[in-house]
Chains A and B, each alone.
Chain A
Amino acid sequence: MSPAGAPNRLEVGRLEVDVRQKSFAAASGGKLDVIGGLAFSLGNGEVAALVGPSGCGKTTLLRIIAGLDRDYDGSITLPDHGRLGVVFQEPRLLPWRTLEQNIRLAAPAANDATLDALFRTLGLDAHRHLFPGELSLGLARRAALARAFAIEPDLLLLDEPFVSLDDALAMRLRDELAELVTRRPVTTLLVTHNVEEAIGLADRLFFLSASPARVIAEIPITRPREKRTAEELAALRAEVARQLVAS
């Protein structure tokens, strides 16, 4: 315990997750265990990927961390001010507001220069006055990314942000996301079932079991993501496969 008024500098930006148990009431009566003991922590600016099969409770975990679901056993400690940037599986933009208004409503404190830079990085410049109904899914997902970054979050949560995009577009968006987290480091938790996506972006991989979810393997990646070569990625893929078979 640090004395009051003297925050522990090492702890700044740290995310602590300890969900001992989470279950839903099943329609047939009884309960359905979704999470059965999930504990990990992320240091400031660390990017972690949670990889697991569909329906293993990844989204439920993100909802718990985001404070949208408080009915669980365990505890969550958010970094610093606990300002959250969330990218949901669907873009969740307000259809009746333009792209730019959507972002300004979520981030009223963001200044014009920050927004201009974000729009340029994500290629949204030409589309800022369009309504979400006029955007392609790729553009809408970019807008959701821009919204999450515009509030300059202490913690970024991404729930399968590139699902149902074609491979080329998903790859480009992944690069843009990598550029954003490199430019302004932020503790990030990415949820995905796509191993490629995880090893391309994360500093640490957590592999989850099928429901009820728990961590079955943890793989740190020390090499900075912009320096990873094709061979290293191939080696990582092999390592992932080995670990998964072993568990």
Chain B
Amino acid sequence: MTIRLVSLALLIAAWYVGAQFAGPRMLPEPQAVAVMMVDEARSGALAFNLGATLSRVAIAFALAMLIGSAIGWVMGRYRTADRFGDPWLIVLLNLPALVIIVLAYVWAGLTETAAIIAVALNKLPIAAVTVREGARALDRGLDDMAQVFRMSAWTRMRHVVLPQLAPYLAAAARSGLSLVWKIVLIVELLGRPNGVGFEIGTAFQLFDVTKILTYALAFTAVMLVIETFLVQPLERHVSRWRPKPA
């Protein structure tokens, strides 16, 4: 913990020193960013924009994980589905995020639905590919065991299959969360009237580096809180059965 704090303090110190050389227009001092953060928080703009972005992240992430994992599981279990779905996955995986976003806005208009679908479509193939690997590695012996003891479909899913997929789902969720929020910002920059991405877009036009840093850091802090208080405890719970290294 101490090392982490020292490391963080060093980063801020380096920023301060850099600000002295670059000048306030290029790189404002840390305290200027802190002051703006307090101002934005007081006016309610910070909470409003963070909330808008966060809800887009949450919905797009949930959609992509749910549908992507289901597709990945089916493709990992059934060869025909795998052969059929593979070209689609490769196309989606290799389409640049920007192309998907622009096409979604052109076809569905500058709407919330278009924005969320565009983000989810970017993340979905990655979740599918990761979970497919997990489904391919499922233990046949445990499957046989579940079958001879006539476990219900629900019991099998919940107690036999999902725990085996857990590390793959965790990997997909980890990489997914950081990817999704970056893409949400682009979607907001290109076609939404609010959110962190919109604010950063406006600040960019005004060359307001203080504001860009204010919003970027505020959102990073939110993601850090989610990682520490949601993702990590969940991972610890899911892997509680693994023997701990001495």
Contacts and interface: CB of A to CB of B under 8 A. Distances in A.
Interface of A: 63, 66-68, 83-84, 86, 88, 90, 92, 94-97, 105-108, 131, 133-134, 147, 151
Contacts, number: 51
Contacts of A84: 148-150
B20 interface: no
Contact of A151 (B145, B149, B166, B243): B149
Q: Is the interface of A mostly helix, strand, loop or mixed?
A: loop
A238 to B, nearest CB: 37
Interface of B: 141-142, 144-145, 147-151, 155, 159-160, 163, 166, 241-243
Nearest to A105: B159
A88 B241 contact: no
Contacts of A151: 149
A133 B148 contact: no
Among B144, B148, B159, find the residue whose CB has the most chain A CB atoms closer than 10 A: B148
B246 to A, nearest CB: 13
A67 B241 contact: no
B239 to A, nearest CB: 9
Nearest to A151: B149
A5 to B, nearest CB: 25
Contacts of B155: 105, 108
Nearest to A62: B148
A86 B151 CA distance: 13
Given A90-B141, A105-B155, A105-B159, A97 B241 contact: yes
B241 A68 contact: no
A133 B243 contact: yes
The 10 closest A-B pairs by CB, nearest first: A106-B149, A96-B163, A131-B241, A96-B241, A92-B145, A86-B148, A133-B243, A66-B148, A92-B141, A84-B148
Contacts of B166: 96
Given A96-B241, A133-B243, A88 B151 contact: no
23 contacts: A66-B144, A66-B148, A67-B147, A68-B147, A84-B148, A84-B150, A86-B148, A88-B144, A92-B141, A92-B142, A92-B144, A92-B145, A94-B142, A94-B159, A94-B160, A96-B159, A96-B163, A96-B241, A97-B159, A105-B155, A105-B159, A106-B151, A133-B241
B227 to A, nearest CB: 23
A88 B242 CA distance: 23
A68 B148 contact: yes
Contacts of A66: 144, 148
A92 B160 CA distance: 11
